[in-house]
Structure 1
Amino acid sequence: MSKPARSGGGADDPSPTREKLHLKPQVVRIEVLGDEKVGKTSLICSLVSRHFSEKVPSVLLNVQIPAEESDENVIISITDTSSRVSDLMRVTNASKRSDAILLVYDLTRPETFQRLRRWLDFIAKNKEIPVVLVANKVDINAVTPTTDGPYASQVRNLVNTYPVRDQQLQVLGCIGLAAVAFGLTQFCVFGEQFVVSEVECSAKNFTQVAQAFFLAQKAVLYPVAPLYNEKKRQLQPKCLKAIKRTFRLYNRDRSGILSREELNEYQYDCFGVRLLGTEIDTLMEYLSSEVPSGVAPDRNGLFVEGFIYLWWLFIDRNRPESGWQVLRSLGYNNDLHLEIPPERIQLSPYEEDQATQLTGQAVDFLTNLFRQFDANKDNNIAEDEVEAIFSICEDEAAPWHTCSAISSPLLYETTLVDGKPTLSLPVWLACWSFVAQENPQKLLETLFYLGYNDKLFPAIEFVKSVLLKSPFLGMDAWSRSLTRKVNKIERNVVSCYIFGSPESGKEHFVHTFIGQIDALLVDDDQFIVRAIGAVPDRDSTKYLFITEALSDDEIELKADVLVLVMNPLDESSKMFVEELDKQLPAAIPRVVISYKPEVQDEAETETKAEEGGDEEELAKEETLGDFSIDATLKQYTTSIKCHEARSVQEEAAQLIVATALR
C-alpha cells in the first residue's frame, strides 16, 4: 500500500502520516457444551472433516483450524467436553479459557432443552462469555414446537432470564427452537437479548454446522456491546471517543472537515479499496438528507457529526465488523483500549547528565494543533478547547495535570478573553515542555493518542543537563561545579527552586510570575507551589519552572538555579535568607530577591496615611528603606529588587534564567 501524502509534502513536515498498527491474528477459543448424546462431538467432526460417522469418540482432543483456512485470518480452537459429573472440573477450566460457547441440545429429546437452564447457570458462574444455543438433529423427522405452543413460551422465558447488558451472561444466538418460537428470519433485538436468524443444525447432513461456529466466532471478533447500546440505539462513549480520534487522525490538514480525498484515504487504509467519485457523491447526498449538519458546504467533505453518523449506520444495521476492522487497524482491543506498542513509549538509554525535551518537529506539531483549535484565531485557546483536544485520549485531562507524582497542581498564566480563561501559545508550549522533562513516557503516550508518529519524527531529544554524579561520596558539589565550567545548560526548561520564610511572600511572587496577582493563596503545608512560564532569552524562548523543594537530594539532582525571597519589611525573612544562603550548595547559582507585594505596599501606605502621616515624611521613610534594602542585597552576588508585578514577570524572570544559563 502506498503511503498517503502528508500536507506540505516536505521531508521535515511535522504533520506525520497515520501509522497503521497490524495486530497479531487472534485465536478464538470455542467450547462445545451440552447433555450427553446431543451431538457435540459429531458437530465438530462434521465441521472439520465434512464427513459424518455413527461412531465417534466420546470426547475429541482439542481441534485447531489454522488461520489460513479462516476467512477472518484467525485460529479457531475448538474444545469438546464430557457430560459426566466426574469431568466437571475439567469442563469448568475449559469454560474459563474459552471466548465463546456453543450450547447444544437435541431437537428429538425435549429433556435436553429443559436442562439448558442448568447449563446456562453453570456458565454464568464461571465467566462472562457469549453463548450460542444450537438445536441439533434437525434431519430427524421430529415434531418441532410452533410459535404459539407452550414450549415457545419456555424458550422466551429462558432467553429473558439471561439478558445481554449488564448481566453475567450473553445469549448472542439462539439457533433452532428459539428462532422458530419467535418466528425470526433475520437478526433483530428482542428486549435486551440478541436473537439471530432461524438456523437448525444437522451434524449428519452438515446443515448450518459452519454457520453455528461462525456465529460464535463473530460474537468474539466483532462484539456489538462495546460499540453500541441496542436498547438506546446509541454508540457507547468509548466507541464515540475512538471514532472522534479516527476522524482527527485522517483530517490531516486539520481543517475540521474530512475532505473527499481524506475520506478516500481512510477508505483505502482500512478496507483496501477506494471509492469512485460517483460513490462519494451518492454517499454525500444520502448523508445530506439524514444529517445535514454533518456534511460540509458543497458536499466537499464530512464534519465529525457526519462521520459519527456513518459509523452509527453501519453498526445499527448489524455491520460491526466494519467498525472493528478500522479500530483494530488503529490498535484498539475488544475493550476499546488503545494498545500502544511498548517500543513507542520506551526511552532510549541516556546518560545521567542528560535531560529530555521536545524536538523541533514535536513543537511544530503542537503549534499546529493549537492553531487548529484556536477557533477565533486570536492566539489563545479556551479551557473548553483544551478539553476538546484531549477528549480523544483515554485520560482526558491535560498531561501537565497528571504527569507528576506530586499532587499539587501546576500553575501557569491564563488570560481572560470574553470572560473565559485562555492559554496563549507560549504558555501551551511551556506546559508541554514541562511534561517532556517531568515524564517523557507520559508525553509519548499522549502524543500517540493525538496522532503524532514518533517513528517518523522523534518527539523527544536528549540534551545536556548540569549534574555529573561523582563516584566519590561528598563530591557532588565539586562535580557539579566542574560540570558548569565545562558545559552550559542546553535544555529549554530551567528548573528553579524557590525558598523563603512564611513572611517572605514567595507564594505571592510565584503567582505574580504567572500573572495571577489576585489569586487566592492556599495556606496548606502539603501544598507545593509549582509554576511554569515562558521567558524570552536573547533570540530564543526558555521555560522557567519554579517549584519548592521536597528534599536536599532533589535540589542537588535537579536545580539549575535557586531563588531566595525576602520581604524588605520583615526582618525575620531577611535573617532566614542570610542563614539559608550559607547552607545551600555553593555550586548552584542563586538569585536573592527583595519582594514587596504591591497589595502589601498599598495597605501599608493607606495605614500610615490614615494615621495622619506627612507625605514628605512618608517619602523620606521610603527612601531610607530603599537604601537599607540596597545595602542588604549588595552582600549577595546576584540580586534584584521587585516591588511591582512588571519587574517580576520581566526583569526578575529574565535574571533567573540568565543566572542559570551563564
Structure 2
Amino acid sequence: MPRDVRILLLGDPSVGKTSLIMALVTEEFPDFVPPRAEEITIPAEVTPEHVPTHIVDYSAAEQNEEALHAEIVRSNVICVVYSVDKQESVENITSYWLPLIRSKSPKKPVILVGNKIDLEATESLPSLTEAVLPIMDEFLEVETCVECSAKTLMNISEVFYFAQKAVLHPSEPLYSAEEKQLKSACISALTRVFTVCDYDKNDALSDRELNDFQCRCFNAPLLPNALEEVKETVRRNLEGGVTEKGLTLIGFLYLHLVFIQRGRHETTWTVLRRFGYDLNLQLQSEYLEPSLTIPAGCMLELSGIGVQYLRDLFHQHDVDLDGCLSTREQQRMFELCPHLMWEAQNLLHSVNCSALGYPTLDGFLSYWVIQAMTNHRLLFHFLAYHGYVHGDTDTQLTAVKVKAVNPDDQSVLHCAVIGNDVHCKSLFMHQFVNPAYPASDSSHSEFACRSVTVGKTPKHMVLRDTKLDEVATSVPYHAAVVLVDTSSAQSIEDALDAQEQLGSTTPILFVAVPPQVTRVDAEAAPNHGLKIKHNFIPGNTQSEQIFQALARLAHNPTINTGKEASSSWLSWSGKAALLVGIPLAAAYVIYRYRASS
C-alpha cells in the first residue's frame, strides 16, 4: 500500500479546477476563487483508505511549463478537468493534456472530470458517453470519468475518491484493457491465493473454504444465500466454474475478472494485499521476512503454533495418507514456492525418512526445526509462500519463539558432535535419524535431527557436526558428544582437549568408536582418564541407548556420566562382540568398510 497519494488537477483555464478543491475543503461553493489553490493535505484518518492524500492545483497563469512537467512526474494520479459546457475543453483532453501526460509519465493513471454538470444541458453538447468513451478507448491510462458540480457539491468527494482509488487499487497491473482479460501476473497471484485456501487440495473451494477465505480477506463470512448467488453467477456464465466439490480455479479467476470489469478493483486488491502482494504483484519483503532480532546466547525454535501449522500442512499434502511425502507430494507442496527448499537427496542423512527415502512427519518437522535454528529466513519464506496466518496476524513471528539456552524450558536440544574422523561422525549422525538405512560414502550432513522423549516430554534433538574451535562461536549447545578412537593417541588427545575446553560450560558424553588401524596397541590409552560409558557400532540398534543418554544429558547437564573401568580398544571390542552376539571379526568387517571408503 502506498504511504500517501498525490493528486494533480489539470485542465484548461476556467474549467473549475480550483473551485473543485475549495468546494471539497470548505463543503461550499466559494464566493471568491483565486487563480490557484494552495496544496491541500487530507489526513489519513478522514480518507476512505486511511492514506494521507495531497491535492495539487495547477494554474497556467502562475506556473510555467517546467513546473507543470515536474508536477506531472511527481504526482500519483492526474485529474484532467473539463467543462461540460465547453466543447473546446473536451477536445483539448486528447489534443493536448493526455499526450502531454503520456510523454512525461507513461501509464500514469488519469481520471476525467466533467465539471459544471449543474448547467442546463443543450442539444449541442455531447452526452458523457459520447464525449468520453472514444477517449477511454484511445487512452487506456484513463481509469474512469466522473461528472460533478463544484457549485452544487454534486459528486465532489467521489472525484477524489476515484482518484485515490486509481492509485491504491490500480487496474493496470491486474487487467489488460486491450484483451479484456486478467494479466498473467494477476492470474499467478490469484492462483496462489486459491491454492493456499484449498485446504484439502481437491482443486476446488468448498463452502467452508470459501467462507474461511471471505473471513480472512473481508472479516465477515458470506451469508448462505449470498454464497449460492455467487456460485450460481459463475455456473451460469462459465462451464466448469463450479463442480460438486465447489468453486474451481477458473471460476475463482472469473469472479475477479467480473469485479475488475465492473470497476471493483478494490475487491481484488484487498485479496492480493491480504496475501502479501505489492502494487507490482510481488510478495512484499516485509511479508516474506518480518524483522526479528535473536540476542546473543539465544536460539530460535518453532512455537507450538508453528509446529501445529507445519503438521497441518504435512497432512494436507500427504494425500495418500501413508505418513510420508512422496516425490509428487513434495512437488505439489513446493508449487507455491519459487524453488525447492530442500535437496531430497540430503534429507535421508539429516532427518527421518521412509523406506523409499521420503520424509516422514517427524522428518518434515525436524527439517524446519533445523532451519529455525540456523536459517530462519528460509523458514519465514516457506511459511509466507503458503499463506501462513494465525488468528488476525499474518506475520510468521507467531510461528517461532526466541529462547535462552535453558534445557528445562526448551523444546529443542542442540548437541555438538566432535571427533577427528568425519566419516565416523557421519555414520553416527546417520544412525541417529535413519538406523534402518545403510549409510553411504556421500552420507555426510552437517545436521541430524529427530524427536526424542526425555522423561515423558517430547523434544527435538539436533546433532551438529562441529569442530572443537567452533563450539564457543556457534549457536549455543546444550551438550556435546565426543567420538573417541581409543587406539589413536591423536584421537585421545583431541578428546582431552575437548574435555578441558568444554568441561566447565558444556556437558560432554564420550563415546568410543571403532579404530582406524588394524594393529591395536593395547597400551595406547589405558590411563587417559576419559569417562567412556558407551560404544558406538555402526548398524547396531543398541546405539539408540547412546542417543537417549545424550538427550538426558542435554536436558539435565548435572548427570554424572561415570567412569568406565577400562576403555582400551581390546576391552571395547570384546564388549561389542558380546552385545551383538557375533565374533570379534565383525568389528574388523566394519573397519574394512570404513577403511575402503
Say yes or no: does 1:227 pair with 2:146.
no
Where do residues 118-197 of structure 1 align in structure 2 (5 Å cutoff)? Answer: 119-120=100-101, 123-124=104-105, 129-132=108-111, 179=132, 181=134, 193-195=140-142
Q: Find the aligned partners of 2:455 and 2:523 in 1 and give their Cα distance.
A: 29
Is residue 360 of structure 2 the alignment partner of residue 413 of structure 1? Answer: no
Query: Is 1:102 the equivalent of 2:82?
Result: no
2:492·2:528 contact (CA, 8 Å) conserved in 1? Answer: no
Aligned length: 537
| Alpha-carbon distance between aligned partners in 2 of 1:292 and 1:141, rounded to the nearest angstrom | 47
Aligned equivalents of 2:189 and 2:490: distance in 1?
52
TM-score of the superposition, structure 1-length normalised? Answer: 0.62
Checking the alignment, whether the CA contact within 8 Å between 2:419 and 2:494 is kept in structure 1 is yes
Aligned residue type for 1:450: Y
Deviation at 1:501, TM superposition (A): 3.2
Q: 1:259 to 1:501 in 2, by over 3 A?
A: same
Is 421-430 or 210-219 further displaced after alignment?
210-219
Matching of residue 585 in structure 1 with residue 562 in structure 2: no
Query: CA separation of 1:107/1:508 partners in 2, compared to 1, >3 Å: closer, same or farther?
Result: farther
Equivalent position to 2:231, from 284, 300, 315:
284
Partner deviation per Cα, 1:431-463 (whole Å, 9 max, x = no partner): 233344446787678657412238799655566
- Give the distance between the partners of 2:111 and 2:382, measured in 1 at CA: 40
Q: Give the 3-state SS of the residue equivalent to 1:380 in structure 2.
A: coil
Query: Which one of 416, 438, 458 corresponds to residue 497 of structure 1?
Result: 416
Instruction: Tell me how large the CA RMSD over aligned residues is.
Output: 5.4
Alpha-carbon distance, 1:328 to partner: 5.0
Q: Which residue of 1 aligns with 2:8?
A: 31
How has the CA–CA distance of structure 1 residues 458 and 328 changed in structure 2, closer, same or farther, with 3 Å as cutoff? closer
Residues 36 and 62 in structure 2, CA contact (< 8 A), matched pair in contact too: no
- One-letter amino acid of the counterpart of residue 98, structure 1: S
CA distance in 1, matches of 2:273, 2:388: 17
Aligned pairs for 1:246-645 within 5 A: 248=196, 258-264=205-211, 266-267=213-214, 275=222, 277-288=224-235, 295=242, 297=244, 301-302=246-247, 306-328=251-273, 334-335=279-280, 337=283, 355-382=299-326, 385-386=329-330, 388-389=332-333, 398=341, 412-413=350-351, 415=353, 421-438=357-374, 449-453=387-391, 459-460=399-400, 465=405, 489-501=408-420, 505-507=424-426, 509-511=428-430, 513-515=432-434, 517-518=439-440, 520=442, 529-539=446-456, 540-549=458-467, 551-552=469-470, 554=472, 558-565=476-483, 571=488, 574=491, 577-578=494-495, 580-581=497-498, 584-587=501-504, 588-595=506-513, 635-638=529-532, 640-645=534-539
2:587 alignment partner in structure 1: none
Structure-2 residue corresponding to 1:7:
none
The alpha carbon displacement at 1:644 in A equals 2.1
Seen in structure 2, the aligned counterparts of structure 1 residues 241 and 565 have a Cα distance that, compared at 3 Å, is farther
Distance in 2 separating the partners of 1:327 and 1:177: 35
Instruction: Assess, with a 3 A threshold, how the Cα gap between structure 1 residues 568 and 330 changes in structure 2: closer, same or farther.
Output: same
Matches of 1:659 and 1:416 in 2, distance apart?
Answer: 29
Distance 1:229 1:584 in 2: 67
Match of 1:657 among 551, 558, 563: 551
For residues 313 and 397 of structure 1, do their structure 2 counterparts lie closer, same or farther at Cα, with a shift above 3 Å needed?
Answer: farther
Q: Secondary structure at the match of 1:381?
A: coil
Asked if the contact 2:479–2:554 (Cα under 8 Å) also holds between the matched residues in 1, the reply is yes
SS at match of 2:6: strand
Q: CA deviation at 1:120?
A: 2.1
Output the amino acid matched with 1:379: G
* TM-score normalised per structure 2: 0.68
SS in structure 2 at match of 1:558: coil
**Matches of 1:222 and 1:447 in 2, distance apart?**
26
Structure 2 distance, partners of 1:509, 1:360, is 29
* Gap change, CA 1:270 and 1:31, over 3 Å in 2: same
- Structure 1 residue 360, shift from structure 2 partner: 3.8
Higher relative contact order (CA 8 A, sep 6+): 1
> 1:424 Cα shift?
0.8
Q: 1:80 to 1:196 in 2, by over 3 A?
A: closer
1:480 match? none
User: 1:444/1:58 Cα in 2 relative to 1: closer, same or farther (>3 Å)?
Assistant: same
Paired AA for residue 364 in structure 1: Q
Q: State how far apart, in whole Å, the 1-side matches of 2:62 and 2:265 are.
A: 39
- State the 1:576 CA deviation: 6.0
CA-to-partner distance for each residue in 1:114-169, whole Å, 9 max, x for gaps? Answer: 443673266328xx7423356778979999999xxxxxxxxxxxxxxxxxxxxxxx
Q: Shift of the alpha carbon at 1:59? A: 1.3
Distance 1:631 1:88 in 2: 92
Q: 2:448 is matched by which residue type in structure 1?
A: A
Matching residue's letter, 2:17 = K
* Equivalent residues of 2:299, 2:475 under 8 A apart: no
Q: What is the alpha-carbon distance in structure 1 between the residues aligned to residue 210 and residue 190 of structure 2?
A: 17
Deviation string 1:18-45 (CA, Å, 9 cap, x unpaired) is: xxxxx9x985331123566665324434
In percent, how many aligned pairs have the same letter? Answer: 25
Task: Supply the distance in 2 between the matched residues of 1:294 and 1:630 (Cα, whole angstroms).
Answer: 78
Unaligned runs of at least 5 residues, structure 1:
1-22, 147-174, 402-407, 467-487, 523-527, 605-620
Shift of residue 94 of structure 1?
Answer: 4.7
Q: Contact 2:492–2:525 (CA<8 Å) still a contact in 1?
A: no
